[in-house]
């Protein structure tokens, strides 16, 4: 049943209701829709701000519409103008609503004459939630300042006034002015040979949603890793990063064989400073990546497989609202596993799938019921909260189940057809299901019922018959862990010399939440886990050691927390510390020293965690 007339969009007919119902955006794309962004930015490092001029090309949908409504957060608006066909500018009246903590400020521009273009002149706040500004001292090479964006999920509005919803896709071009010697990159085709003259231009000809709008600037060197890929990073780590990511072209070619041609031209990677709050961000043409994956043995390059997979699931076919983000992350995590299996072997892919599945089994029961669903009630989960383990791990688990039921050959053909059918569109869970029912479930009857599909998508928890891969090495580790905890096997007799990163992660993940202190001390004495350069292992080890009462690790844990701003690798240590009065006091001391190097998103999460613990005490 359609509530509103259909909107012609490419080869598909998508209901206007899908574009008008994003609870995380003030935009009204059923009235008017932004189709192109012309962006002019000046990077001001001393003031920690962007001076911007955003020109929006508009497609009017409702002939009676009186205004253009945009999303903003903490932007200082200087003026807004309508641009005529002759280039003449006419001032427009506008109103900026009071700031909402989650959504920012609604910007309403009076446009009764339906201009084809509107230009907004503005500056960003030094505290913009989607930008981080680093002094030279906060970078690896300590020569030049650094700035980078993180627009997902609804933080693009903090540095560009726009319709900040994944349902709305637009092309863009940009001109960016920067100090000389600073390289600027964006989520578009980047020129590795561009002179560092302070004047950069970019063009993104493919329609993207706002959360994929990205910018970075700093002391950035470049090293090619293939005919259509390169690594961008600070000069001191660019060679290390290029070695770690030297298989990038192989990963691209492997994914093309599975799901069709890579549609974006180039696939480059920007390795950011350690304060980057996420593992990676799939910005088109230029993945932003954490340096914590640079461990020297390629054991964590599944991050590249994941962000590359987004070039099909997420960037090419996009969820229309944050409630549907599992269409991005669940599909991508599944594709990531297929890439890892093809390039690095089935054993590693199975280990990674088991790691995520076991972690989800442990955590999902403590989540609110609505958060346990792949497609939750849209107003029950916030935009940032939608990016949970459920979207990634339950979503990919569902797709692995489909692959097992229908067979890899038929499921691959289905998925390749899905990407081709919805290419360059933003869709809802229900649109995905409308495509799945005739093209998979009914096409191959008797393999999976529609009721089973609905349980996966709309049900809480994990279906009882959800299949898990088998890992003989993990089975052996389970037995060794059991024997070690029972006193039947000394720590130094664990057969761990050949364990890879994933196997250490699995061993530590399945220790008791509060392990005996003597066992933890034996483990550290035998395997020297304190001080590990591997952040994945370090996060798990320090969390256990803190919970177990081993104050000897506190200094090393603090160094880990100060050096790394990635939420996933830092917040668990804060959570472990704040459970005791002494730990809470220590966590506050660590945060006071680390805060300046954290991204605004990391600051927000840690501060909320500490405040909650203090109130509970």
Angular region, 6: left φ>0, alpha ψ -120 to 50, beta rest: beta
The catalytic residue among 392, 414, 506, 598 is: 392
**Is 307 annotated in the active site?**
yes
Closest by Cα among 152, 149, 154, 150 to 103: 154
Q: Measure the CA–CA gap between 275 and 300, rounded to whole angstroms.
A: 18
HSE, CB side, 13 Å, CA atoms: give it for residue 474: 21
The catalytic residue among 152, 307, 503, 536 is: 307
**Is 392 annotated in the active site?**
yes
Q: Measure the CA–CA gap between 500 and 297, rounded to whole angstroms.
A: 9
Furthest-apart CA atoms within the chain: distance in Å: 84
Q: How many CB atoms lie within 10 A of CB 180?
A: 9
Q: Measure the CA–CA gap between 77 and 52, rounded to whole angstroms.
A: 10
Closest by Cα among 130, 153, 148 to 73: 130
Q: Measure the CA–CA gap between 550 and 584, rounded to whole angstroms.
A: 15
CA of 370: how far to CAs of 323, 329, 360, 380, 455, in Å? 11, 18, 15, 7, 13
3-state SS, one letter per residue, for 147-190? EEECCCCCCHHHCCCECCCCCCEEEEEEEEECCCCCEEEECCCC
Tokens of 15: 């209901």
Residue 16, burial from CB neighbour count under 10 angstroms (0-12, 13-18, 19+)? buried
Q: What is the SS3 assignment for 133?
A: strand
- Which residue spans within 435-485 are E strands per DSSP? none
Q: How many CB atoms lie within 10 A of CB 462?
A: 20
Closest by Cα among 395, 398, 469 to 440: 398
Q: Residue 209 gets which letter from DSSP?
A: E
Tokens of 169: 């896709």
Tokens of 132: 């981080």
3-state SS, one letter per residue, for 391-435? HHHHHHHHHHHHHHHHCHHHHHHHHHHHHHHCCCEEECHHHHHHH
Q: How many CB atoms lie within 10 A of CB 522?
A: 15
Instruction: Look at the block and give the residue holding tokens 């206007």.
Output: 16
Q: Measure the CA–CA gap between 307 and 309, rounded to whole angstroms.
A: 5
Q: How many CB atoms lie within 10 A of CB 100?
A: 11
Closest by Cα among 274, 279, 345 to 306: 279
Q: Where in the sequence numbering do the catalytic residues fall?
A: 307, 392
């Amino acid at each position: 049943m359609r509530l509103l007339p259909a909107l012609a969009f490419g080869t598909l007919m998508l209901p206007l209701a899908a574009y008008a119902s994003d609870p995380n955006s003030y935009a009204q794309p059923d009235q008017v829709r932004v189709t192109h962004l012309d962006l002019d930015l000046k990077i001001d490092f001393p003031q920690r701000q962007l001076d911007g001029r955003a020109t929006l090309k508009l497609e009017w949908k409702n002939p009676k519409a009186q205004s253009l409504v945009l999303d903003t957060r903490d932007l200082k608006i200087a003026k807004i103008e309508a641009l005529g066909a002759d280039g003449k500018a006419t001032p427009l009246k506008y109103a900026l609503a009071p700031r909402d903590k989650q959504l920012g400020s609604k910007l309403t521009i009076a446009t009764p004459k339906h201009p084809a273009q509107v230009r907004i002149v503005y500056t960003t706040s030094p505290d913009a939630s989607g930008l981080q500004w680093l002094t030279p001292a906060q970078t690896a090479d300590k020569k030049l300042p650094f700035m980078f964006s993180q627009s997902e999920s609804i933080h693009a509005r903090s540095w560009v006034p726009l319709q900040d919803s994944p349902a709305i896709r637009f092309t863009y071009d940009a001109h960016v002015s920067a100090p000389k010697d600073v390289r600027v990159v964006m989520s578009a085709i980047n020129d590795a040979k561009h002179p560092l003259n302070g004047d950069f231009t970019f063009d993104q000809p493919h329609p993207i949603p706002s959360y994929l709008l990205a910018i970075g600037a700093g002391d950035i060197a470049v090293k090619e890793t293939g005919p259509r890929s390169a690594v961008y990073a600070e000069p001191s780590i660019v060679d290390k990063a290029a070695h770690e990511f030297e298989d990038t072209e192989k990963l691209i070619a492997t994914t093309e064989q599975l799901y069709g041609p890579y549609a974006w031209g180039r696939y480059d990677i920007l390795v950011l400073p350690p304060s980057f709050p996420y593992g990676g961000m799939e910005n088109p043409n230029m993945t932003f990546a954490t340096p914590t994956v640079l461990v020297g043995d390629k054991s964590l390059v599944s991050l590249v497989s994941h962000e590359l997979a987004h070039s099909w699931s997420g960037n090419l076919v996009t969820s229309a609202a944050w409630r549907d983000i599992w269409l991005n992350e669940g599909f991508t995590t599944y594709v990531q596993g297929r890439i890892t299996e093809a390039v690095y072997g089935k054993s590693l892919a199975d280990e990674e799938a088991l790691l995520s599945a076991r972690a989800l089994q442990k955590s999902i029961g403590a989540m609110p019921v609505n958060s346990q669903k792949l497609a939750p009630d849209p107003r029950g989960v916030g935009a940032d909260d939608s990016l949970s383990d459920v979207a990634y791990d339950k979503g990919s688990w569902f797709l692995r189940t489909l692959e097992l039921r229908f067979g890899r050959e038929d499921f691959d053909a289905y998925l390749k057809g899905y990407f081709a059918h919805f290419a360059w569109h933003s869709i809802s869970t229900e649109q995905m299901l409308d495509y799945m029912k005739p093209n998979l479930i009914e096409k191959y009857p008797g393999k999976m019922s529609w009721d089973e599909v609905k349980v996966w998508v709309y049900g809480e928890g994990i279906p009882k018959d959800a299949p898990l891969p088998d890992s003989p090495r993990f089975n052996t580790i389970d037995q060794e862990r059991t024997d070690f905890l029972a006193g039947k096997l000394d720590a130094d007799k664990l057969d761990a010399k050949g364990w890879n990163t994933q196997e250490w992660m699995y061993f530590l993940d399945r220790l008791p939440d509060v392990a005996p202190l003597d066992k933890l001390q034996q483990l550290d004495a035998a395997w020297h886990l304190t001080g590990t350069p591997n952040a994945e292992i370090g996060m798990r080890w320090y969390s256990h050691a803190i919970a177990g009462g081993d104050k000897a690790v506190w200094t090393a844990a603090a160094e880990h927390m100060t050096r790394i701003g990635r939420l996933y690798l830092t917040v668990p240590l804060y959570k472990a510390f704040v459970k005791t009065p002494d730990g809470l006091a220590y966590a506050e001391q660590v945060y006071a020293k680390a805060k300046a190097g954290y991204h605004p998103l990391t600051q927000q999460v840690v501060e909320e965690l500490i405040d909650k613990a203090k109130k509970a005490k």
